[in-house]
């Protein structure tokens, strides 16, 4: 097997493998309850997305849990329609809804769905 690149080693150190709590399809109060229960059970990785429509509830549950933000790996995703020129605004929106100034991992839902994502110059601005 090929050796891991420096970038992949860096990513592995930054976001260690962990069992996480996914929030797809959770809405409103149910979303807050499930995230709160997961955090109480010891989950320290929470996955959400702008498209799920529950980033605000995830933020509330995290704040109410008493678990320090720095102790939770927070993952979110931006939707493919928000790629390219709209990515920065979409990321700022997610950060605002999550009531945080950073996420530990930002993913793109369905990368490659639009041509602008494949353009290196556009990617450099993301």
Per-residue HEC secondary structure of the chain comes to: CCCCCHHHHHHHHHCCCCCCEECCCCCHHHHHHHHHHHHHCCCCEEECCHHHCCHHHHHHHHHHHCCCHHHCEEEEEECHHHCHHHHHHHHHHHHHHCCCCCCCEEEECCCCCCHHHHCHHHHHHC
Q: Which of 43, 52, 80, 102 is catalytic?
A: 52
Determine whether 102 is an active site residue: no
Residue pair 29/60 in contact by the 8 Å Cβ criterion: no
Residues classed as catalytic: 52
């Amino acid at each position: 097997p090929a050796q891991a690149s420096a970038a992949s080693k860096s990513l592995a150190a930054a976001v260690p493998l962990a069992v996480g709590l996914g929030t797809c399809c959770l809405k409103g109060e149910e979303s807050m309850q499930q995230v709160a229960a997961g955090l109480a059970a010891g989950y320290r990785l929470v996955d959400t997305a702008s498209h799920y429509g529950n980033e605000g509830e995830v933020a509330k549950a995290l704040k109410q849990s008493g678990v320090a933000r720095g102790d939770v790996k927070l993952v979110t995703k931006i939707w493919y329609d928000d790629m390219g020129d709209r990515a920065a605004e979409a990321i700022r929106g997610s950060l605002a809804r999550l009531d945080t100034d950073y996420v530990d991992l930002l993913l793109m839902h369905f990368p490659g769905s639009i041509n602008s994502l494949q353009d290196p110059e556009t990617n450099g601005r993301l």
